[in-house]
Amino acid sequence: MKLVFSLLVLICVAGCAPGKVEAQSPQNRPLPEFTHKAPGDWINSAPLTRKDLSGKVVLIDVWTFACWNCYRSFPWLQEVEKKFAGKAFTVVGVHTPELEIEKISANVEAKVKHFKLNHPIVIDTDFSYWNALDNQYWPAYYLVDKKGIIRYVFVGETHSGDTQALKIEASLAQLLNE
């Protein structure tokens, strides 16, 4: 058991973002169309398209449930959803697995309930959306403007009031005001 835990830690350290990576901005490229169209590939929503998100600022949250950097960021993410509720804003989660156990849809659905995530989440088991984003880390946050253009990318665990959270929220507010 100790060996399994050590391996999980080693895997997450290798695959998760090492601390925070400074925002890469601006990106100025279109948000890729979602690669998963089947209803069974989505939680909390029917399959979405870029057109469905038109006119909204979107925060894409790329995560996986065994990555502690990801799930320790959920309280902040939920606060952001509350803070910007009623505005032209939405969060879309992209669950891209790192471990075999994370590829099982029922496990992802159970973790979504456990973490009380209510926004749309696409199950990206085949890494097709990860690749379309050209993503490299868990967690990663893509801020998309109302025209569907990725404007900012932030990487790493985020907590309310920390420097990264303040940058993301300021960028989000700026995009809402455009």
pLDDT tens digit sequence for 67-104: 999 999 999 999 999 999 999 999 999 999 999 999 99
3-state secondary structure of 85: coil
> Helices 74-83 and 163-177, interaxial angle, to 10°?
30
Please state the domain extents for the chain: 53-177
pLDDT digits (tens, 9 = 90+) for 94-135: 999 999 999 999 999 999 999 999 999 999 999 999 999 999
β-partners of residue 153 are: 24, 142
pLDDT at 53 over 80: yes
**Is the backbone of residue 44 left (phi > 0), alpha (psi -120 to 50) or beta?**
left
> What is the pLDDT at residue 8?
40
Residue 18 has pLDDT above 80, yes or no: no
The closest alpha carbon to 146, from 92, 93, 90, 80, belongs to: 90
Q: pTM of this prediction?
A: 0.88
For the ranges 5-9, 96-100, 156-160, 162-166, the lowest mean pLDDT is seen at: 5-9
64: closest CA among 23, 103, 30, 37? 103
Which CATH code fits 53-177?
3.40.30.10
What pLDDT is recorded for position 27?
Answer: 73
CA 47-52-58 angle, 5° bins: 100
Percent residues over pLDDT 70 in the chain: 85
